[in-house]
Chain A
Amino acid sequence: MKLRTLTLGLLSASALAFAAHAESITIATVNNGDMVRMQKLTDDFTKANPDIQLNWVTLEENVLRERVTTDIATKGGQYDVMTIGTYEVPIWAKQSWLLPLDKLGDDYDVKDIIPAIAGGLSVDGKLYAAPFYGESSFVMYRKDLMEKAGLKMPDAPTWDFIKQAADKMTDRANGVNGVCLRGKAGWGENMAFLTAMSNSFGARWFDENWKPQFDQPEWKKTLQFYVDLMKADGPEGASSNGFNENLALFQQGKCGMWIDATVAASFVSDPKASKVADKVGYALAPDNGLGKRGNWLWAWSLAIPAGTQKADAAEKFVSWATSKHYLELVASKEGWANVPPGTRSSLYANPEYQKAAPFAKMTLDSINAADPTHPTVKPVPYVGVQFVAIPEFQGLGTTVGQLFSAALAGQSSVDDALKQAQDAATAAMTEGGYIK
Chain B
Amino acid sequence: MARAVTTQHKTIATAAAWVVALLIFFPILYTIITSFKSEQEAIQGFALIPSGTMESYAEVQAQSGYFKFFLNSVILSVGSTLLAILIAVPAAWSMAFSPTKRTKDVLMWMLSTKMMPAVAVLFPIYLIFRDTGLLDSRIGLTVMLMLINLPIVVWMLYTYFREIPGEILEAARMDGASLWNEIIYVLTPMAVPGIASTMLLNIILAWNEAFWTIRLTTTNAAPLTAFISSFSSPQGLFWAKLSAASTLAIAPILIMGWFSQKQLVRGLTFGAVK
> Which residues of chain A have a CB within 8 Å of any CB of chain B?
26, 28, 30-33, 36, 39, 55-61, 63, 66-67, 70, 74-79, 243-244, 247-248, 251-252, 261, 263-264, 267, 273
Q: State the Cβ distance, A380 to closest chain B Cβ, in Å.
A: 27
Residues of A within 8 A of B136 (CB): 78
Contact B237 A70 (CB under 8 A): no
Residues of B within 8 A of A57 (CB): 218-219, 222, 226, 230
Supposing A57-B222, A59-B229, A59-B230 touch, asked if A76 and B214 sit within 8 A by C-beta, the answer is no
CB within 8 Å of A: which of B106-134? 122-123, 126-127, 130
Cα distance, A154 to B99, chains bound together (Å): 82
One of B1-9, B37-45, B81-89, B191-199 at the interface: B37-45
Nearest A residue to B233, CB-CB: A31
The binding surface of chain A is classed by DSSP as mixed
Supposing A26-B218, A74-B123 touch, asked if A267 and B43 sit within 8 A by C-beta, the answer is no
Q: State the Cβ distance, B46 to closest chain A Cβ, in Å.
A: 13
- Having A67-B215, A77-B130, one finds 18 other A-B pairs with CB under 8 Å, namely A31-B234, A33-B236, A55-B218, A55-B219, A56-B219, A57-B230, A58-B64, A58-B230, A59-B230, A61-B232, A61-B234, A66-B215, A70-B126, A76-B135, A78-B136, A243-B235, A248-B44, A264-B235
B66 within 8 Å of A (CB atoms):
no
Supposing A76-B130, A248-B43 touch, asked if A70 and B215 sit within 8 A by C-beta, the answer is yes
Q: State the Cβ distance, A243 to closest chain B Cβ, in Å.
A: 6
Contact A60 B215 (CB under 8 A): no
Count of B residues near A, CB < 8 Å? 29
Nearest B residue to A135, CB-CB: B235
Supposing A74-B127, A76-B130, A248-B237 touch, asked if A63 and B135 sit within 8 A by C-beta, the answer is no
B63 within 8 Å of A (CB atoms):
yes
Contact B237 A243 (CB under 8 A): no
Contact B39 A273 (CB under 8 A): yes
Max chain A C-beta neighbours (<10 A), residue from B39, B130, B215: B130
Cβ-defined partner of A31 (8 Å) among B39, B44, B135, B231: B231
Residues of A within 8 A of B40 (CB): 251, 273
Residues of B within 8 A of A75 (CB): 130
B238 within 8 Å of A (CB atoms):
yes
> Which residues of chain B have a CB within 8 Å of any CB of chain A?
39-40, 43-44, 63-64, 122-123, 126-127, 130, 135-136, 214-215, 218-219, 222, 226, 229-238
Contact A70 B122 (CB under 8 A): yes
The binding surface of chain B is classed by DSSP as loop
Residues of B within 8 A of A32 (CB): 233-236
Contact B230 A31 (CB under 8 A): yes
Cα distance, A380 to B235, chains bound together (Å): 30
Nearest B residue to A273, CB-CB: B40
The 5 sampled A-B contact pairs (Cβ below 8 Å) are: A26-B218, A26-B219, A33-B236, A60-B229, A67-B215
Q: State the Cβ distance, A82 to closest chain B Cβ, in Å.
A: 11
Residues of A within 8 A of B219 (CB): 26, 55-57
Supposing A55-B218, A63-B214, A261-B235 touch, asked if A70 and B123 sit within 8 A by C-beta, the answer is yes
Residues of B within 8 A of A31 (CB): 230-234, 238
Nearest A residue to B42, CB-CB: A248
Cβ-defined partner of A243 (8 Å) among B63, B226, B231, B234: B234
Supposing A26-B218, A58-B64, A248-B43 touch, asked if A76 and B230 sit within 8 A by C-beta, the answer is no
Q: State the Cβ distance, B79 to closest chain A Cβ, in Å.
A: 22
Cα distance, A79 to B130, chains bound together (Å): 13
Q: State the Cβ distance, B188 to closest chain A Cβ, in Å.
A: 41
Cα distance, A244 to B43, chains bound together (Å): 9
Q: State the Cβ distance, A297 to closest chain B Cβ, in Å.
A: 16
Cβ-defined partner of B135 (8 Å) among A33, A36, A78, A243: A78
Cα distance, A75 to B130, chains bound together (Å): 9
Residues of A within 8 A of B43 (CB): 244, 248
Cβ-defined partner of B63 (8 Å) among A36, A66, A77: A36
Q: State the Cβ distance, B153 to closest chain A Cβ, in Å.
A: 28
Supposing A36-B63, A57-B219, A79-B218 touch, asked if A244 and B236 sit within 8 A by C-beta, the answer is yes
| 4 smallest beta-carbon distances between A and B, as pairs | A58-B230, A60-B232, A61-B234, A55-B219
